[in-house]
Structure 1
Amino acid sequence: MIRMNRRALLGASLGALAMPALPRTTMAAGSMSAAVYPGGWDEALRGVLAPALKRAHDVDVAFEPLFAVDQIAKARAARGVAPFDVFVLDPGPRVQGIDLNLFESFDPSRLANRAKLPEGYADRHGAGVAAQVVGIAYNPKKLPKPAGWRDLFKPEYASRLGLTGFGTTFGTVSLIEMAKVWGGSETDVEPLFTELRKILPQVAAVAQPAAIPGLFQQGQIDVMYTNTYTVSLLKSRGVVIEFALPETGGVAFGTTMHIAKGAKNIEQSYQYIDTMIATDVQSALSQAPYFFVPVNTEVTPGAEVPMRSIADLSKFVTHDWSKINPLRPRWIDRFNREMAK
């Protein structure tokens, strides 16, 4: 059984926050900076978006790998000095950023590719750039296909489960959906903790979100909650893995980009976001080895994604982050205290 202690669970976030921001005075004309999710997003945007931005606008981008919650924390700690020009965020941190006034007012008309986004995917706060579908990934050679979230608490699944907490959006929505099947709700996860305590001695691994896919690839776990992007990426590397939509429905949410309050490179930031939603970039990102779920209406999601267009997103389970955000910090802390040893 693999365990990571509380210090290890929190370490990635604290370490990221400790990194100094790029000196804003050193950013020359034709340059800008952007936060990017560590791991696959970092690789994809460096491999596809950065070269496309350079070709289209002769703009260089410096990336800073940070999870969404760390981006918000870093911007708050900077006290009005933008630590980077562009955020990339999931729904919860997006709502928090709006509430904290961390974004510049956004003008969708400055996006040349605005018409290729569905209605409502660009507003006065920012623009949608990708979608995510969350469910259960499993090794079909080791386990039968799980019917839903409740199955993960059965001994045969719990003993092969990779457990991670509320620090990411996919982790939060998965754990909320688990709470629901035990009588909880979007704002009540007490039943979840009751059931987790019962299976904790059996659980194969409790680890940081970024470590879970590696544990699956190494065969140290055989079931996890994650997004289709991670499943497709592992499958492309020869890992035996399949994706299951829970019987209660798959979870979906959008990922958005926002210009940071006080950003010094506004024009380049618009060009960066516009390039991200361009058809050629969205098409490239939707294919191997990146497997993004595109929001550009001219691009069809890959075969591994359980939708044929971004319009299908409305058929999935979504959540009210204005209710979740006030509770989430306590959930994160509690998970770290009670689940990590």
Structure 2
Amino acid sequence: MTEFGLNRRGFGLLAAGVATAALLPARARAAGSLVAATFPGGWEDAYRRVLTPLVSAAGYDLTIAPALAQDQLAKVQASPDNPAYDTLLMSPGQGAVAIENGLIQKIDPGKLSNWAMLDPAFQGEYGPTVTVEVNGIAYNPDMVPKPAGYRDLFENPAYAGKVSWTGFGSNTAVMAYTQLAKIFGTGPDDMDAVFKLFRDHPENLKTVIDSTNHQMTLYQQGEIAVFMCSTNNVAHLKALGLAAEFAHPETGSPAAPVNIHLAKGSRNVDAAYAYMDAAISKAAQDVLKLPPSEMFPTNRDVELTPGIAAYVTREQVASLVYPDWTLINKNRAAWIRAFDTLVAGG
């Protein structure tokens, strides 16, 4: 796991934020603790280092619990009356399932002092959007040319055997597959066209692995040169000193807002609100926008870094491709079974 090292500027910004949090009114400094589910890897490290001191200054103990969104869902579904987490971190796909199953609750925006600093698009009734993950294609410019889009990865021999894919359990993967379904089929739910594409290009089946984290490792080892990812993944690779670039697919870059949700049955709601407020604060997002995490800031008082602006500007956020998660969730289980069978047979 990579260290989330704060440079001098980042440390100063965080220290200023902690000082501000220490001035919160006494009602916010009641004793308590919370368990916050966070994506493993870079997210876990960044949130532990950046948010823990801010939440502590507000009077609460924060435990960061790393878990993929699908695993978060499974744990709270297993014990809905005694949830394993006070807050969940999810993209729209899993968020929709959590809402449908009554696992999260609507929030009271009045308890978030930084709520007004979010654009309306980021003010979710089930929790604030803390960043927007922009997805596309990571590639090693020393090994392959810049891909024009998803079609290129199957039709251009320059990429043969150098592209890695993951299964339909990954949000990043399923967003890419719905785009492929539109390119090679009749629409985003035409996965038969995608499965045929893989059968016609069996070299791509040999590089299907379990997760983006695993792909990152293979990329670092030079075993793959291309994989589907978010801009954050590319920023992380660059921070490690690797040759890595991001390509926006010609059909548009899929995007996934990431929200913090309040678990139904949370044991410390006040602490959960303090954590949410810290995550959308200028103090936190001024640090989280810096390498190696480079998270797109949703607090409009936070200026974009040149690195983030090179990927996406605030004006471009609305024009990104936002998948139909209702359609995806309806078909996802069947797609997972069909693709796993295809991979096993390949």
Q: Same-fold call, TM > 0.5? A: yes
Contact 2:205/2:343, CA 8 A, preserved across alignment: no
Aligned to 1:69: 70
2:247 maps to a residue whose letter is: A
Question: Which of 228, 244, 249 is the aligned partner of 1:246?
Answer: 249
How far residue 301 of structure 1 moved from its aligned partner, in angstroms, is: 3.1
Deviation string, structure 1 residues 201-257 (Cα, Å, up to 9, x no partner): 355622111201111111000011100000011011111111110111111120001
Question: What one-letter code is carried by the residue in structure 2 that aligns with 1:141?
Answer: D
Counterpart of 1:115?
116
- Tell me the distance in 2 between the aligned counterparts of 1:205 and 1:33: 36
Residues 214 and 277 from structure 1, CA distance in 2 versus in 1: closer, same or farther, beyond 3 angstroms?
A: same
The superposition leaves residues 35-86 of structure 1 with CA deviations (integer Å, 9 ceiling, x where unpaired) of 110111111101111122112x021111221111111111111142211100
1:126–1:202 CA distance, 2 compared to 1 (3 A) = closer
Decide which of 319, 340, 346 is 1:336's aligned counterpart. 340
Q: Is the 8 A contact 1:162 1:212 kept in 2?
A: yes
Alignment correspondent of 1:186: 188
Question: 8 Å contact 1:158–1:203 — kept in the other structure?
Answer: no
Indicate conservation of the 8 Å contact 1:111/1:274, yes or no.
yes
Query: In 2, Cα distance between the equivalents of 1:194 and 1:43?
Result: 39
Q: Is the 8 A contact 1:113 1:274 kept in 2?
A: yes
| Alpha-carbon shift at residue 336 of structure 1 (Å) | 2.0
Q: What's 1:308 paired with? A: 313
Tell me, yes or no, if the aligned pair for 1:140 and 1:240 is still in contact at 8 Å: yes
1:83 maps to which residue? 84
Native 8 Å contact 2:31 2:59 kept in 1: no
Distance 1:268 1:259 in 2: 11
Q: Quick one: which amino acid aligns to residue 232 of structure 2?
A: Y
Corresponding position: 1:168 with 2:170 = yes
Tell me, which stretches of 5 or more residues in structure 2 are unaligned? 1-29
Cα distance change, pair 120–147 in 1 and its aligned pair in 2 (3 A): closer
Q: Residue type of the partner of 1:88?
A: L
Task: Report if aligned partners of 1:300, 1:308 keep a CA contact under 8 Å in 2.
Answer: no
CA distance in 2, matches of 1:331, 1:146: 26
Mapping of residues 238-277 of structure 1, within 5 Å: 238-277=241-280
Unmatched 5+ stretches in structure 1: 1-27
Deviations 1:90-134 (A, max 9, x none): 011111111111112311121100011001322331111111000
Mapped pair 1:50 → 2:52: yes
CA contact (8 A) 1:135 1:225 kept: yes
- Give the distance between the partners of 1:182 and 1:105, measured in 2 at CA: 39
Aligned AA (1:206): V
Task: Give the superposition deviation at 1:31.
Answer: 0.9
Hey, what's the Cα distance between the residues in 2 that align with 1:113 and 1:201? 49
Contact kept, 8 Å, 1:161 with 1:204, in 2: the verdict is no
SS at 1:201's partner residue? helix
How many residues were matched structurally? 312
Larger displacement relative to structure 2 (254-263 or 318-327):
318-327
Structure 1 contact 101–261 (Cα < 8 Å) conserved: yes
Taking structure 1 as the reference length, what is the TM-score of the superposition?
0.88
Change in Cα spacing, 1:280 to 1:225, as seen in structure 2 (3 Å) is same
In structure 2, the CA distance between the partners of 1:262 and 1:315, relative to structure 1 (3 Å rule), is same
Q: Percentage identity across aligned positions? A: 35
1:202–1:74 distance in 2 versus 1, CA, 3 Å: closer
CA distance in 2, matches of 1:36, 1:202: 31
3-state secondary structure, aligned to 1:327: helix
Could you tell me which amino acid in structure 2 is paired with residue 238 of structure 1? G
| 1:194 counterpart SS class | helix
Please provide the CA RMSD for this pair.
1.6
Match of 2:216 in 1: 213
Partner of 2:151: 150
Q: How do 1:287-298 residues align onto structure 2 when only pairs under 5 Å count?
A: 287-298=290-301
1:157-212 per-residue CA deviation (whole Å, 9 max, x = no partner) reads 13101111111211110111122110242222110110011222355622111201
2 CA distance for matches of 1:41 and 1:226?
14
Q: Which residue of 2 aligns with 1:319?
A: 323
Which consecutive aligned stretches of 4+ in structure 1 deviate over 4 angstroms post-superposition?
none
Distance 2:203 2:100 in 1: 40
Q: In structure 2, do the counterparts of structure 1 residues 232 and 197 end up closer, same or farther at CA, with 3 Å as the change threshold?
A: same
Q: 1-side partners of 2:190 and 2:78: how far apart?
A: 30
Report the secondary structure of 1:326's partner residue.
helix
Q: Which residue in 2 is equivalent to 1:222?
A: 225
Report the TM-score, using the length of structure 2 for normalisation.
0.86
- SS across alignment from 1:50: helix
Deviations 1:299-341 (A, max 9, x none): 23333332222x4211111111112111112212222221246
Give the match for residue 35 of structure 2: 33
State the SS of the aligned residue for 1:64.
strand
Mapped partners of 1:333, 1:300: distance in 2: 43
